[in-house]
Amino acid sequence: MAGLYLHIPYCESKCVYCDFYSVVEREHRDEFVSLLTEEIKSRANEAPHDTVFRSVYVGGGTPSLFSPEEIRSVLDTLRECFVVDENAEVSMECNPGTVTASSLARYRASGVNRLSFGVQSFFEDDLAFLSRIHSPAQAKKSVEMARQAGFDNISLDLMFSLPGQTVSRWRENLRQARELDVAHLSCYSLTVEQGTPLASVVTRGEVRISGPEKDAELFETTMLVLEEWGFLHYEVSNFALPGFECRHNLAYWNHEPYLGFGPSAHSFVEGQRTWNVASVSRYVERIRASGTARAGGERLTREQLRTEHIYLGLRSNGIDLVDFRARFGSDLLEDNRERVSAFMEQGLLSVENNRLFVTPAGFLLCDEICAEIN
């Protein structure tokens, strides 16, 4: 299930925790869409000729700062240059403070059929701390307007382990999300990434981040509550009602091919990973000069592919053991008999229908488990 990714790097403001590539300046903003479409056209032959793309993801940054007409232009170019399934999932990230009833209806008409709103919290003080530009009321209104515009596949990003956050306060965030009747929730633990404003205030002792025990308690609460409400836990941070799992993310986690366009975007095709320059100004220079903005690449070895496949599979819906043997010519369970047995005895791993997967308890120690299986 191949995917296409578009990176829109512009934001109205930079969130305190964010380490994704984005800019708040309007540098080259007016010509960005034309340059992005030029890059797409110049790379039209990159995918194998028989590749059918079943997902498109417009991420950022804040793609909803761009008009529906601009988004349509880019989506039309993708369809001109690649074989995009007529029933493809077309996702777009939105900030609740940047959309209107009119713009949402036009995004839907442009071909976008799935929205991901960066809500993070339904509490004003949390949003202020995180440097979000919207209010809880705007978040709720945006979801209502999206549904009225014809979107039935809506996701919310929520963040736990905020400073001083209690289990009851986190449960209230989940409850308010449920009231909006969305089909997908991405629930992330607040992490301190180097080079972010959050890292600076934590280093200076101005903010204290929750410890691992509190983080685990909040994550366990998330899993228990959402399971009770019928959500499938199909990746460490992602939960969906049946049939609403994000196709694009599944492609990443299943090691399927994808092409990325825009500053800092990555691609993965036939065992080769490449990436674009993480700078708007350099992106513009390179597209003008050659039509591409590649900054580097690597050919993954068989061992690297194997390791990534294990890591991605255990973090999501598990590893198909038959497929694994076909891909890598080895028996994953036999190669890791003692370690897998130990994790199964601890209730952290399970095997059913030729699939190895982590249990709910295992998700709490997923990185440690992945490091032990090879």
Q: Residue 157: inside a domain, yes or no? A: yes
- What does the alpha-carbon distance between residue 96 and residue 128 come to, in Å, rounded to a whole number? 14
Q: How far is CA 148 from the centre of its chain?
A: 25
Task: Tell me: do 45 and 163 sit in the same domain.
Answer: yes
Non-local CB neighbours of 52 within 8 Å, separated by 6+ positions: 2, 83, 84, 85
Question: 245 and 310 share a domain?
Answer: no
Q: Are 174 and 226 in contact (CB under 8 A)?
A: yes
Q: Quote the CA–CA distance of 283 and 66 in Å, as a whole number.
A: 18
Report the C-alpha gap between 255 and 247 in whole angstroms. 12
258 occurs within a structural domain: no
CATH number at residue 46: 3.20.20.70
* 7: its two tokens: 């990176």
Residue 270 lies in a domain: no
Spatial contact of 157 and 186, defined as CB atoms under 8 Å apart: yes
**pLDDT at site 65:** 95
Q: Estimate the share of the chain in helix, then strand, then coil, as percent rounded to the nearest 5.
A: 45, 25, 35
Same domain, yes or no: 73 and 155: yes
Domain boundary among 217, 234, 253: 253
End-to-end CA distance of the chain: 25
pLDDT attached to residue 202: 81
Report which secondary-structure segment, H or E, holds 185.
strand 184-189
Q: Are 225 and 178 in contact (CB under 8 A)?
A: no
Are 235 and 322 members of one domain? no
Q: Both 161 and 229 in a single domain?
A: yes
178 and 82 within one domain: yes
Same domain, 248 and 315: no
Q: What is the pLDDT of residue 175?
A: 98
The reply to whether 269 falls in a domain is: no
For residue 281, tell me if it sits in a domain: no
Q: What averages of pLDDT result for each successive group of 10 residues across the chain (374 residues)?
A: 94 85 88 97 90 96 96 98 96 95 98 97 94 94 97 98 95 97 96 84 84 92 97 95 95 91 96 96 96 96 93 92 93 92 93 92 89 89
Specify the CATH number for the domain of residue 349. 1.10.10.920
- Taking the C-alpha atoms of residue 157 and residue 163, their distance in angstroms, rounded to an integer, is 18
Count structural domains, the chain. Answer: 2
Cα separation, 340 vs 333, in Å, equals: 7
pLDDT at 284: 96
Is 166 inside a domain boundary? yes
Co-location of 190 and 307 in the same domain? no
CA distance 60 to 226: 27
In a domain, 279, yes or no: no
Predicted pLDDT of residue 64: 96
**pLDDT at residue 255, rounded to an integer:** 86
CB-side neighbour CA atoms (13 Å) of 300: 17
pLDDT tens, 156-170? 999 999 998 999 999
Residues contacting 152, CB < 8 A, separation 6+: 183
| Same domain assignment for residues 33 and 143 | yes
Does some domain include residue 283?
no
The answer to whether the CB of 25 falls within 8 A of the CB of 278 is no
**What 3-state class would DSSP assign to 236?**
coil
Both 336 and 224 in one domain: the answer is no
* 230 lies in the same domain as 339: no
pLDDT in tens, 213-259: 999 999 999 999 999 999 999 999 999 999 999 999 999 888 899 99
Percent of the chain scoring above 70 in pLDDT:
100
- Looking at the structure, do residues 53 and 134 belong to the same domain, yes or no? yes
Name the one residue in this structure whose structure tokens are 């000069």: 289
Its domain, for residue 333, covers 302-372
**Burial annotation 311-328 (CB, 10 A radius, 16+ → b, else e):** bbbbbbbbbbbeebeeeb
* End-of-domain residue from the set 196, 224, 253: 253
Cα–Cα distance between 199 and 191 in angstroms, integer? 9
pLDDT on residue 203 = 86
Per-residue pLDDT at 194:
86
| pLDDT value, residue 69 | 97
